[in-house]
Amino acid sequence: MIALLQRVSEAAVQVNGETTGAIGRGILAFIGVEKGDTEAQAERLLERILAYRMFSDDAGRMNLDLLQTGGGLLLVSQFTLAADTNKGNRASFTSAAPPDEGRRLFDHLVSRARRVLPETGTGRFGANMAVRLVNDGPVTFWLQVPPAA
């Protein structure tokens, strides 16, 4: 599973003009699900998202995680993160999970996130979404949890 994390001062996602999720300061995480990904990977990815130190402490160093800052979490499914861009000028999505499997694992991730942060916002799986964000920094990290060996 893949997460593209962006530290934001605010972010929101809309579907057909309706806001489905919004946060103030926190993390906007775009989530990509690949073929063969598991619930265990989703849970490990969430652990990493919540514990990733991307917020500044009093000394200005990125030493604080989301839970330490009390920030918000906005999870947005994005199958294009699973794209193979190694050849040609058009991405291949053969490594992306089929829609039903992607939805199941994304929903699992959201469910687990809401146990820790009940106000976790989301987009709508498979929908055409408009995502607005103010990247704070900018600070952006790519996290990937490989299958268990």
Active centre residues (catalytic): 78-80
Distance CA 54, CA 144 (A): 16
Parallel, antiparallel or unpaired: strands 26-32 and 121-122 = unpaired
CA pseudo-torsion sign 82, 137, 28, 142: positive
Q: Give the C-alpha separation, 93 to 96, whole Å.
A: 5
Q: How many whole angstroms separate alpha carbon 113 and alpha carbon 103? A: 15
Contact 5, 55 (CB under 8 A): no
